[in-house]
Amino acid sequence: MSALGRREWTGRWQDCYHRWDDDEQVGNVKAFCSVANFMDDLNDDNANLYWPNFKAAPWHLQCIVRVDGEMTKLNFWPHKAKAQVDYRKVQEGWGNVNELIASIFSTDEEEEFDVIE
């Protein structure tokens, strides 16, 4: 852990903040591992998730992603099944979070080609 409290993602759901007596939060942090793996798969096994300040906010994870050509933060609150790209609306529920991730790591741009007349 760095002096600022940054800690790298362990890949273990048990390390995510949640209330042990809340079945919904336990289910959410377990599901987050699949979401993190999905993100790794889309990003060539290099999602680089981390807790920016584990001591002060163990419920908040981040990674840096490219959105519209700009590097920005992708924020996660695994125990609440929420995610957000900086300065955009928070997405709630793993289906919406997966759609957000797919939209970042997959481009819908068509390849340019020369038209032959």
DSSP per position, 17-42: ---TT-HHHHHHHHHHHHHHHHHHHH
Q: Is residue 43 part of a domain?
A: yes
Q: Is residue 84 part of a domain?
A: yes
pLDDT of residue 110: 46
pLDDT of residue 45: 61
What is the SS3 assignment for 100? helix
Long-range pairs, 84-87, Cβ under 8 A, ≥24: none
Q: Is residue 113 part of a domain?
A: no
Reply yes or no on whether the pLDDT at 94 is more than 80: yes
- Total number of domains constituting the chain: 1
Q: Is residue 98 part of a domain?
A: yes
Reply yes or no on whether the pLDDT at 106 is more than 90: no
pLDDT of residue 107: 59
pLDDT in tens, 23-54: 999 999 999 988 888 877 776 666 789 999 98
Domain that holds residue 72: 7-105
Q: Is residue 2 part of a domain?
A: no
**Stretch among 3-12, 40-49, 71-80 having the lowest mean pLDDT:** 40-49
Q: Are 39 and 101 in contact, with CB atoms under 8 Å apart?
A: yes
Instruction: Tokens for 111, please give them.
Output: 């390849």
Whole-structure pTM value? 0.79
Q: Is residue 28 part of a domain?
A: yes
Q: Is residue 69 part of a domain?
A: yes
Q: Is residue 1 part of a domain?
A: no
